[in-house]
Chains A and B, each alone.
Chain A
Amino acid sequence: DAKTTQPPSMDCAEGRAANLPCNHSTISGNEYVYWYRQIHSQGPQYIIHGLKNNETNEMASLIITEDRKSSTLILPHATLRDTAVYYCIVRDILTGGGNKLTFGTGTQLKVEL
């Protein structure tokens, strides 16, 4: 499975955009990039996923570079409730269906007033 590299921590002012980078230089052509976040002592929450094109949903936007070696998760207007650990994952598809998600240590995003 492709390895991802993320900065260990980032700070963001409330109301500003939070841009979380991720490097996945060994990603192969058919592997999706997934983003999850985990608020302290809770289960991870799915945010967004993408393959080649940029994606947007109600929570965030995902920008994937043309060579697919890196991506950026954008929270357009960060709030205090967005403080969490954000995981960038390149998934493995399991034989028979389903994903194997390999979670690294992620980026601790701290949103401050």
Chain B
Amino acid sequence: DGGITQSPKYLFRKEGQNVTLSCEQNLNHDAMYWYRQDPGQGLRLIYYSQIVNDFQKGDIAEGYSVSREKKESFPLTVTSAQKNPTAFYLCASSMVAGDVYEQYFGPGTRLTVT
């Protein structure tokens, strides 16, 4: 089955700890994205990567970091500098060639920091 996997589905952490969210895709997509969603709100772009070993800040990158060492993987680290880390985090991927660029989303990780 081709798709995007995110793990774990639920994650609990104490305030002040860094936490890394996993995102893996087997769609052979070049681009990968991380979004954050707060209750009742739309998705906001945190970071994106269009090629291995390169990534760009989205609209709300402060307090987050990413890496893209492999095409299939785009982990997101929520650092202790992120003031309101509790949220639903979604990973997506897409092609970069052509004109359509449909994004495929993973099932999400719900992070709770107390």
Interface residues of A (CB under 8 A from B): 32, 34, 41-46, 49, 87, 91, 93-94, 96-106
Given contacts A97-B96, A98-B50, contact A44 B110 (CB under 8 A): no
B40 proximal to A (CB < 8 A): yes
Interface majority SS on A: helix, strand, loop or mixed?
loop
Given contacts A41-B110, A43-B92, contact A98 B101 (CB under 8 A): yes
Given contacts A94-B48, A103-B43, A105-B41, contact A43 B90 (CB under 8 A): yes
Interface residues of B (CB under 8 A from A): 4, 30-31, 33, 35, 40-45, 48, 50-51, 56, 58, 88, 90, 92, 94-97, 100-108, 110
Number of contacts between A and B (CB, 8 Å)? Answer: 70
Q: Are A97 and B42 in contact (CB under 8 A)?
A: no
A97-B50, A98-B50, A103-B42 known; 15 new pairs, CB 8 Å cut-off, are A43-B107, A43-B108, A44-B43, A44-B105, A46-B104, A49-B100, A94-B31, A94-B56, A96-B50, A97-B95, A97-B97, A98-B48, A100-B58, A102-B45, A103-B44
